[in-house]
Amino acid sequence: MSDLNWNSIKLIRQSKPMKECSNNRSAIQQAIKDIGSMDREYNIRYDLDEGLRIIGREVIAIGSITEVMTTGREIFKGAIMNSAYKIIMAHNHPFGEIAPSKTDYEAHDKIKAIGDIVGIPLVDSLIVNEKEGISIPKYRKERDNAFLRWLRR
């Protein structure tokens, strides 16, 4: 028993909560500001408090010009340590096109499932470039609705 090393973690907030992200427009604007003009793909996590204010943000990974890879462990470690109530994920597409790829949809679904398990729900997944951004779940819903309207013709 005496051979065990004990670890302790202490949360020290370096600033007050940032702006509220109660809608995806404000979150998109923040992501454009933070990573929209980067020359490689960046994956960033925003930690939210109960009032949906940003209480922390972390660059999870920096990738290449075409992809960025992350795992649930890397995404949720900081969120848990920061006592996040919910999270928003964002990544950029350096060369303009913001439509989600199949990989983007799969990553969103996987992060959402992990968040549900650990009790830190994923509020949104965003893709941004220098000028604009989209919400992956909102984009998926609009795409699916357009397809259903087309089928009903």
Q: What is the pLDDT of residues 108-132, one digit of tens each?
A: 999 999 999 999 999 999 999 999 9
What element of type H or E holds 134? strand 133-135
Q: Does residue 17 surpass a pLDDT of 70?
A: no
pLDDT of residue 13: 60
62 within domain boundaries? yes
16 within domain boundaries? no
105 within domain boundaries? yes
128 within domain boundaries? yes
Treating both helix axes as pointing N-terminal to C-terminal, what angle do 136-152 and 102-118 enclose, rounded to 10 degrees?
120
2 within domain boundaries? no
Measured from the Cβ of residue 20, the count of other Cβ atoms closer than 10 Å reads: 14
Instruction: Give residue 10's identity as a one-letter amino acid code.
Output: K
Torsion (CA) 47, 69, 23, 15 in degrees, nearest 10: 30
Looking at residue 106, what DSSP letter applies? H
Residue 94 belongs to domain spanning: 24-152
Looking up residue 88, the CATH number of its domain turns out to be 3.40.140.10
Closest CA to 84 of 93, 75, 92: 75
Radius of gyration for the alpha carbons in the chain, expressed in angstroms and rounded: 17
115 within domain boundaries? yes
8 within domain boundaries? no
Distances (CA, A) of 29 to 23, 93, 99, 106: 11, 15, 17, 24
What's the total number of domains in the chain?
1
pLDDT of residue 10: 60
pLDDT tens-digit readout, 18-65: 666 667 788 999 999 999 999 999 999 999 999 999 999 999 999 999
Using DSSP bridges, classify how beta strands 122-128 and 42-48 pair: parallel, antiparallel or unpaired.
Answer: unpaired
Average pLDDT over residues 96-108: 92
67 within domain boundaries? yes
